[in-house]
A = this chain, B = another copy of it.
Amino acid sequence: MSGFRHVVLFKWAEGTTTGQQEEVAAKLSELPGVIDEIREYSMGADAGVNPGAYDFGLVADFARREDYLVYRDHPAHRAVIEQYITPIVAERASIQYET
């Protein structure tokens, strides 16, 4: 099924607590219930297999580019970013591609 995929990886700042990381995952996990445009939503903390890996990854699938933009700019999403993610981010890597 063709669509549009958003991928984002984060490295958390030194001193970030497990609780803060779990809160990010918990808050993000609420978004599919709020933003109908999300088709698939998968996330997880690094499994610790490879040195140098990022700490947290999220893959979100949409039917089309426009649906991703709705998600990107949705107030509920922006609120999670501003309140829970931005305060603890050290590095961010992302891409969007057509599937």
Contacts and interface: CB of A to CB of B under 8 A. Distances in A.
Interface of A: 4-5, 7, 9, 42-47, 49-50, 52-57, 59, 65, 68-69, 72, 91, 93-99
B9 A53 contact: no
A57 to B, nearest CB: 4
B54 A93 contact: yes
Contacts of A55: 95
A23 B74 CA distance: 36
B42 A99 contact: yes
Contacts of A9: 7, 9, 93-95
A65 to B, nearest CB: 7
A37 to B, nearest CB: 14
Given A7-B7, A47-B4, A95 B57 contact: yes
Contact of A5 (B59, B72, B94, B96): B59
